[in-house]
Structure 1
Amino acid sequence: MFRYALRTAGFAALYLAATVAGLATAASGSGVRLFWPAAAVGALWLVAQGRYGRRNLDVIALSVAAVLAPGNDGGLLHSFVQAVPQVVPALLFAWLFDRRLPGYWLGHGDRFRRAGAALARLAGVAALSALSAAVLLKVVNTDLGLGEAGYVFVRDAAALLLVVLAARGIRRLTTRRGAEPTDRPRLTLVK
Structure 2
Amino acid sequence: MSLTRYALRTAGFGALYLLATAAGLATASTGAGVRVVWPAAVAGALWLVAQGRYGRRNLDVIALSVLAVLAPGHGGGLLNDFVQAVPQVVPALVFAWLFDRWLPGYWLGHGDRFRRHGPALGRLAGAAGVAAGAGAVLYKVVDTGLGFGEAGYVLVRDFSAVVLAVLIARGVRRAWGRRRGDEGRGPGDGPRRPDSRRGGLTVVK
TM range (shorter): over 0.9
The equivalent of 1:80 in structure 2 is 82
Q: RMSD of the alignment, in Å?
A: 1.9
SS of residue matched to 2:107 = coil
Q: How many corresponding residue pairs?
A: 187
The alpha carbon displacement at 1:171 in A equals 1.1
Give distance in 1, aligned partners of 2:72 and 2:88: 13
The equivalent of 1:122 in structure 2 is 124
Which 5+ residue runs of structure 1 have no aligned equivalent? none
TM-score (norm 2): 0.87
Instruction: Select 1:67's aligned residue among 66, 69, 72.
Output: 69
The equivalent of 1:97 in structure 2 is 99
Does residue 1:136 correspond to 2:138, yes or no?
A: yes
The sequence identity of aligned pairs, in percent, is 73
Contact 2:38 2:158 in 1 (8 A): yes
The equivalent of 2:181 in structure 1 is 178
Dislocated runs of 4+, deviation >6 Å: none
Give distance in 2, aligned partners of 1:164 and 1:181: 24
Which residue type is aligned with residue 19 of structure 2?
A
Q: Which has the larger radius of gyration?
A: 2
Which residue type is aligned with residue 102 of structure 2?
R
SS of residue matched to 1:136 = helix
Instruction: Select 1:23's aligned residue among 22, 25, 35.
Output: 25
Instruction: Encode CA deviations 1:65-100: one digit per residue, 9 max, x unaligned.
Output: 100101011111111000000000000000000011
Give distance in 1, aligned partners of 2:36 and 2:122: 26
Give distance in 1, aligned partners of 2:170 and 2:64: 22
The equivalent of 2:154 in structure 1 is 152
Which residue type is aligned with residue 155 of structure 1?
R
Contact 2:107 2:167 in 1 (8 A): no
